[in-house]
Structure 1
């Protein structure tokens, strides 16, 4: 029997501490295909998918350890029983939002089926489906939508205010903390403005690397992602908004270096990861994380709009704004969100204002009635 780990720094048990049979199953799931044999079920997953799935399974193993289960004494498949799964779901539900619980279990189910493809997981999949139906949000997203043009304007205002602070000589020389705070606000304003016009998915947005994804050719700046870097597996090439190029230049030349050079306390046991060419950086020069992006957006948007506009909601805001303001060109929203099908955009992102649609319908009917009356008058005038 292998020794059980006694202490853990994270909620999820890291791969190196998984029991040997679990590690072997994970290796088999990641086996690359060749001309003789098919690959493992997880072999073609993107790195982010693999990390999420490993985290979900590691969280399950950590919970089993906390229950006093000797992991090495049980085969991986026999550990996963309906009774334990029920208790595990109850544990996850304590202090977590329903959608968070369902997210954890989605990755857990995926990994179970990938690591142990010959086992019958129908009961687990059905349990997950039931939980997913229960967790469907009842709150209407319409109340949280903000027109894309208002988000863009807000981003410009943040950059203008922060730029004014950075331009003050006294801030540069005697107030380093205020200078760093202004640099952070300028970065946040640029992110909000860019998300309002180019609402990329969070993974791509935070992964933008200068020279690799962010490219400049003369006066033109573009964002480029290869197919294996996107959710839809299709490459993305989109121009950086022309109105934000001066702001980008200032961020790269002045603001980003301030954040890179800012002093932060560092845990020697966990040294920070250098940003390298990553566009969005935090204080101290580390890459901005999803948590950092969420905190920045929550701080600014809650103060301005009275509620939190998260990064993914920017996609809904843009699609709905296009649908409301220019319904004849709704397909444009599909291309701006980089969906393969218009139905995805319409089903999941467009929340058209019914009052606006009704007003447009009334305007159209009034126009048709006026045209009909004009035809009747013209006919009456020409009839002898």
Structure 2
């Protein structure tokens, strides 16, 4: 079935009461203020997701003649209306997309009427998010950690060799190899990886190269404090001393970003995603994005050392073990998937 268009109502077209409550919820705390707004510390992607979901909700109410601008936001929400919205919005859309829209509605209502908003809707949104099936299965795209580490080392070797013979093209190759190696050893979120900055959250001390990310800069509010793994320490120093200077431009001020492009500017999160995914496709034939590195790392723990599944909470920066448990289930599926592939290879006479 063809999906119906659901253009979100932009914030400036929201009913005055909704707009005022949302703007108040986003108000940051000042030096003479007692409290910040409920959504003051939300990251831009969360703000964008919330405004889009709530905007679609208001647009749908308006289109169906059910939007009363004078009604308080939480009073507009009923089980029957939410169910009708989900039914229409679901046509032709992935479960994760639907869950994101409902979560956006719930989050704006929580921000406008803190701390609960419409509690049953928040519960529904989280349940839909946790049970949603992605439109593209993750398992066939995943790669074992050992293979990724070997690729990382090989890219750095290629990059250094090119630099040795005077080819500047070796610098971005080395950078990408180091980035992939760090990402699989320390599977941080894409934004935190992008924002690594020398002297800000990346330091050299007596114990090695330390990465410190405060809770306010992480998605789940869980601080990260750890070291670049010892096996990548020398490679990181080589990057800082020999490779990164090649990428910098004399006319561009060095702002300390760890990952810089050929023109000396910070490599953006989207550029990292594009490059990493392309490299994975070229070498493994799979679209393995930076976010899927987190799945690979956690699944490897569950696959090889299931008794240590609890450490994935800390590795991935989860608040609870509930999010990490899915990787144990995924590991079970991974084993079955691998065995199935082995059977197919034997049937084709490709050896055991």
Would the TM-score normalized by the shorter structure come out above 0.5? yes
Where 1:292 maps in the other structure, the secondary structure is helix
Query: How big is each residue's C-alpha offset from its partner over 1:90-144, in whole Å with a ceiling of 9 and x where there is no partner?
Result: 68977x7542453244234311332256998579668857975884237653333
User: Given the alignment of the two structures, is residue 164 of structure 1 paired with residue 179 of structure 2, yes or no?
Assistant: no
Q: How much has 1:295 moved relative to structure 2?
A: 0.7
Deviates more, 1:52-61 or 1:314-323: 52-61
The corresponding residue for 1:56 is 52
User: Given the alignment of the two structures, is residue 190 of structure 1 paired with residue 178 of structure 2, yes or no?
Assistant: yes
The corresponding residue for 2:26 is 30
Query: How big is each residue's C-alpha offset from its partner over 1:163-182, in whole Å with a ceiling of 9 and x where there is no partner?
Result: 2222222x35xxxxxx2xx4
The within-5 A match list for 1:235-314 is 235-261=223-249, 276-314=255-293
Given that 1:322 and 1:329 are in contact with CA atoms closer than 8 Å, whether structure 2 keeps it comes out as: yes
User: Given the alignment of the two structures, is residue 352 of structure 1 paired with residue 340 of structure 2, yes or no?
Assistant: no
Where 1:347 maps in the other structure, the secondary structure is helix
Q: Could you tell me how far apart the structure 1 residues matched to 2:86 and 2:332 are?
A: 41
Q: Could you tell me how far apart the structure 2 residues matched to 1:355 and 1:18 are?
A: 46
The corresponding residue for 2:38 is 41
The corresponding residue for 2:305 is 326
Q: Could you tell me how far apart the structure 2 residues matched to 1:17 and 1:276 are?
A: 39
CA 1:351/1:136 → structure 2, altered by over 3 Å: closer, same or farther?
Answer: closer
The corresponding residue for 2:144 is 147
Aligned residues: 326
Q: How much has 1:342 moved relative to structure 2?
A: 4.4
CA 1:54/1:341 → structure 2, altered by over 3 Å: closer, same or farther?
Answer: closer
Q: How much has 1:302 moved relative to structure 2?
A: 1.3
CA 1:343/1:304 → structure 2, altered by over 3 Å: closer, same or farther?
Answer: same
Given that 2:17 and 2:70 are in contact with CA atoms closer than 8 Å, whether structure 1 keeps it comes out as: no
Q: How much has 1:159 moved relative to structure 2?
A: 1.7
The corresponding residue for 1:103 is 100
Query: How big is each residue's C-alpha offset from its partner over 1:184-207, in whole Å with a ceiling of 9 and x where there is no partner?
Result: 332221111111111112222222
Which of these two proteins has the greater Rg computed from alpha carbons?
1
Given that 1:53 and 1:110 are in contact with CA atoms closer than 8 Å, whether structure 2 keeps it comes out as: no
Given that 1:208 and 1:214 are in contact with CA atoms closer than 8 Å, whether structure 2 keeps it comes out as: yes
Deviates more, 1:206-215 or 1:182-191: 182-191
Given that 1:208 and 1:279 are in contact with CA atoms closer than 8 Å, whether structure 2 keeps it comes out as: yes
Query: How big is each residue's C-alpha offset from its partner over 1:336-369, in whole Å with a ceiling of 9 and x where there is no partner?
Result: 3344544542334663347969xxxxxxxxxxxx
Q: How much has 1:54 moved relative to structure 2?
A: 5.8
Unmatched segments (≥5 aa) in structure 2:
1-6, 337-352
CA 1:14/1:288 → structure 2, altered by over 3 Å: closer, same or farther?
Answer: farther
Where 1:308 maps in the other structure, the secondary structure is coil
CA 1:142/1:320 → structure 2, altered by over 3 Å: closer, same or farther?
Answer: same
Q: Could you tell me how far apart the structure 2 residues matched to 1:22 and 1:49 are?
A: 20
Q: Could you tell me how far apart the structure 2 residues matched to 1:332 and 1:143 are?
A: 24
CA 1:301/1:274 → structure 2, altered by over 3 Å: closer, same or farther?
Answer: farther
Output the TM-score relative to the length of structure 1.
0.65
The corresponding residue for 1:203 is 191
The corresponding residue for 2:211 is 223
Q: Could you tell me how far apart the structure 1 residues matched to 2:116 and 2:36 are?
A: 18
Q: Could you tell me how far apart the structure 2 residues matched to 1:142 and 1:162 are?
A: 31
Q: Could you tell me how far apart the structure 1 residues matched to 2:261 and 2:83 are?
A: 39
Given that 2:214 and 2:224 are in contact with CA atoms closer than 8 Å, whether structure 1 keeps it comes out as: yes
Where 1:162 maps in the other structure, the secondary structure is helix
